[in-house]
Amino acid sequence: MQKPSLTMTLTAHYSYYLEVMTETVCRRADRFLCFVQFLLGASVFADSRYGWLAGSVIALISAVQFSCKPGALAGHARLQAQRYKKLCDELPALDPAQAQTYLHKIEENDSPVNTRLCNPARLRACIALGLKKDTTLTPCEKLMAHLAGGIPQ
């Protein structure tokens, strides 16, 4: 039985790390927004002249959380990462046709992609597979990679 190609293996690992990084960024954003909401909510009770400003920021954060739903995105990305991890673990035992079918089935439910995480996820996949790192990160990608859990050296 043939093993899946290196390209397919890299694609599966890249997709796994992209979902892991997406889950981390969304989870951290959701927790940060909740923390700011609680902090500002408590400050409203402090009888300050700027209570209206705190209330406005709370309303803005609530609107962002309602429209973007970072917590729900994090949960979905976590499920996708688990599916990709299972594929990565089973990949050596699958023939290329089965692996391709399984990969396409999983890809149907992928999370929305933050393009700033694409190169960091590719680097993580290359490091995990022991391949040569073939890209450098822009400062914005480095920041996003740091927020998403970093890149091992």
Please determine, for residue 10, whether its predicted confidence score (pLDDT) is greater than 90. yes
Q: Minimal CA–CA distance to 102: which of 91, 114, 118, 112? A: 91
Does position 1 have pLDDT exceeding 70, yes or no? no
Q: What is the mean pLDDT of residues 83-108?
A: 92
pLDDT of residue 54: 85
Residue 12: its pLDDT value, please?
95
Whether 48 has a pLDDT exceeding 80, the answer reads no
Pick from 57, 21, 12: nearest CA to 36: 57
**What's the average model confidence in pLDDT over 41-46?**
80
Query: What value does the mean pLDDT take over residues 98-121?
Result: 92
How do residues 117-136 score in pLDDT, each as one tens digit?
A: 999 999 999 999 999 887 88
Of 21-25, 39-43, 60-64, 114-118, the least confident: 39-43
Sign of CA dihedral 148, 83, 90, 12: negative
pLDDT higher than threshold 70 for residue 22: yes
CA 24 to chain centre: 5
